Structure formats: structure tokens, C-alpha cells
A = this chain, B = another copy of it.
Amino acid sequence: MSASFVPVPAGSDFPLENLPYAVFSTKTNPTHRLCVAIGEHVLDLKAVAHLFPASLQDALQAPTLNLLMSLGHEAWAAVRAQIQKLLLKGSEVEQNVDLRNAALVAQSEISLHLPAQIGDYTDFYSSIHHATNVGIMFRGADNALMPNWRHLPVGYHGRASSVVVSGTPIRRPLGQTMPEGAEKPVFGACKLLDFELEMAFFIGGPGNKMGEPIKVDDAWQNVFGFTLMNDWSARDIQKWEYVPLGPFTAKNMGTTISPWVVTTAALKPFLLDNFPQEPEVLPYLRQSLPFNFDINLEVSLKPDNDVETLISKSNFKHLYWTPLQQIAHHTITGCNLRPGDLMASGTISGETPDSYGSMLELCWRGSKTVELQGGKTRKFLQDYDEVIIRGHCEKNGLRIGFGSCAGQVLPAITL
């Protein structure tokens, strides 16, 4: 690809081949509007919408990505091609100084917002290493994976209202717990607050009508793009409340996503074979296309006023179930998906202890400590700890990055 007229520093997450979407505003213009990242700038899509075909202009001038998501993959390809053209050396954006000044904004000058209005948020449980680790801890090695786990992508409905964008602080939740050996539950601040390293994708396309499942090999048309996610979890609250209907208040205090939505088109060079599945799944989940990606994921923990320590290195490729299988299973009953719906992977742990995606696994339920720089240690998260998730793909000199998904823990309030 020829070079952009916008400088892209070496090691940048945002070359011309990436162009992740986000919703931004500036101090001088608080209107929420769409952009793509390029190097250390963004291209304001509202400011250049007039340079696109008329049928795409409404979507590019909207305050969220939902309308663009709804238009489907052919429109996405057309928008991407035109954005790349506008960012090439010699483009009309480069040559028109007024337009260039209006449309190119330094990332240091912007605030980023939730990229879409999320109708429903679903969280899966698709990492076999994570599910096995949790199973060993709570049920022993012999019954680690539940009988259904290899037959269907286990998932649950999450809380959409409390999905927030990177940088939003998360307050330590209050709630009920049943301490070991106690006779009745106690009330107080969560003692075992955790992060979960996840990725999520946004549903695109017009969506399916209620009653009409999406076939696994058609489902790629419904994947608009990916973000990083931290699914904050209150382990002590979860343990007491989750039987029999699953996690509820243990996870509804907040879920953080990164602001940049990296499209499936940008991830294409990093496609991998799907994770091998044994036993063979039922026909409605048999997928003939590869839809797995080599995405390096990292978690860092930063105590208040201190340096950050890298505490986990994982990869999207460890997921047993693919996004296409997740969509096929979610809709097999006829459940309708809508553009802007968010689907998360569940905690992504690799095979080795340095790749585990939660404090629960890293400290093995409190039986060991996680070492931080400067001699500090952790089992679970402390007040004012910041958790920073980063992700990127890299191959043959091409780097496609996700930016970061960060959030700081605030102390619990007093009722």
C-alpha cells in the first residue's frame, strides 16, 4: 500500500491498513462524531462525509456507528476503500488545506466515547483453558469442564447499560457474600475484585428477523469489528449469587471496552485456522471458513502513583469457539440480533500460567501472589489499581493495533 500523507510513526497501532473506527468529540466541538485513527491523528468522518457516495453519507454523519454497522459488508468495504484513498499522499484532503485542517485532529486533542449504542450485550465463555482452570479450582480436575462445554458455546446475557469506554473509573461494588464457614451472608465491599481479559465484537448487517437463525457460514457478514474488553468481576459476590441463574450483580457494576473498533477487513492478514474441536460439533455449528485471528493480548496492572507491570500475555487464538459459531448458536432459537449488539469472548487464557486472563487464575484462587515491580504483590485488585489491556497483530512488518482498554478501581462508596 502506498503511504499516507499523515505521518505514521514506527510501531504505531494505526497504519493506513488498520483504520479503526471510533466516536469522538473535542473541546471546541462537543458533538459526538465518527472518526478513524491514522498514526497519531484521527480523520473526522463527518467532516469528509461529502466525499462519499450519497447512500453512505447519513451513516458517516451519525453520532454512533450503529447506522454504518447496519449497512452491511459491501458498504463497509466501500467506506474503507474511500477512506484509504482520502488518506493517500496527494489526495484531495491533503491538497485542500481548509478541509485538511478541519478533518485531521490530533489524538491528543480528542475525547473518545462508546462507539455504538449497545442494544444487547452477550458474554460467552469460549476459552477452554480458562473454563478448565476455573473448573479445576471449583470442582476438581476430574469435572473441570461441564458436560455441555465442548458441544455448545456457553454464554449468558450481560448488562448493556454499564458497558463503558476505556478510561471510565469503576467503583468497587457493594454486595452480599457468604464467607467461608459463616452461617449467614454479610454485606460490604467486594473483597475479591477481578478483571477478565476478553475481546468483543460488534454485530453488523441489517440483523436477522426473529425466528430466523443465522447460518454459521453466513455469520461473517454480521461481524463488523472487534474491541478489547475488561469484564470486571466480583468473585466473592459471584460465588454466592450465581446459582442457579448465573452471574448477575457480580458483573453488572461495569464492563470496559476499548474505543477503537478494528474491522474484520483489517484483521484479514492475521487469519488462522480455527481451534481444533473434539468431539465434532453438531452440524449447525460446523464451520467451513477459518475465523480465528492471531491477536497478541497483554494485561498490565498499575498501582496508584506507580509504574505498571505486565502480568499476562495471551492471544485471541486460544479461543475454542469462533465468533461465527457464537452467532450461529445465539440465533439458532430464532433470537434476533441488531446492529450494535456486542458479543464478548469470555476470559481468554492460554495454556501456561503467564497467559492466564484473570487474577483468579494468576493467583490460583488466592494460593499464590502476583509479583509487581518494586516489590508489591497482588492477589486480587486493590483500590486505585489501574488495569490496562492492550492488543495488536504483527506480521511481515505490518502492525494492526487495538490501542488500550483501561480502567481504574475506585473505593466502594459508603451507603
Contact = CB atoms under 8 A, between A and B. Distances in A.
Among A148, A156, A173, A245, chain B packs the most CB atoms within 10 A around the CB of A245
Interface stretch (A54-62, A89-97, A329-337): A329-337
Interface string A203-241: 000000011110100000000000000000010010011
B254 A210 contact: yes
A336 B187 CA distance: 20
Nearest to A138: B244
Among A215, A250, A329, A338, chain B packs the most CB atoms within 10 A around the CB of A329
A138 to B, nearest CB: 9
B187 A284 contact: yes
Contact of A245 (B211, B247, B413): B247
A52 interface: no
A297 to B, nearest CB: 22
B156 A248 contact: yes
A249 B330 contact: yes
Nearest to A153: B248
A162 interface: yes
A289 B147 CA distance: 46
Interface in A232-289: 234, 237, 240-250, 252-254, 279, 282-284
Contacts of A254: 210, 334
A249 B171 contact: no
A86 B161 CA distance: 37
Contact of A187 (B156, B175, B283): B283
The range of chain A's interface size is: 35 or more
A174 interface: yes
A178 interface: yes
A80 interface: no
A72 interface: no
Nearest to A333: B173
A71 interface: no
Contacts of A160: 119-120, 160
B415 A173 contact: no
A152 interface: yes
A415 B161 contact: no
B248 A148 contact: no
Nearest to A210: B162
A147 B215 CA distance: 41
Contacts of A147: 178
A245 B119 contact: no
A335 B243 contact: no
Contacts of A173: 332-334
A231 to B, nearest CB: 12
A410 to B, nearest CB: 7
A184 B279 contact: yes
A20 interface: no
B334 A171 contact: yes
A360 to B, nearest CB: 14
Interface in A358-395: none
A171 B243 CA distance: 29
State the 8 A-B residue pairs at the shortest beta-carbon distance, nearest first.
A246-B246, A173-B333, A252-B335, A171-B211, A253-B333, A156-B245, A157-B157, A245-B246
Given A148-B185, A157-B248, A171-B334, 20 more contacts: A120-B160, A146-B243, A151-B185, A156-B156, A159-B335, A161-B335, A162-B334, A171-B210, A174-B332, A187-B283, A210-B253, A211-B413, A237-B333, A242-B244, A244-B246, A245-B246, A249-B329, A249-B335, A250-B333, A284-B415
12 contacts: A152-B241, A154-B241, A155-B248, A156-B248, A157-B252, A174-B213, A174-B334, A187-B283, A237-B333, A249-B333, A252-B330, A334-B413
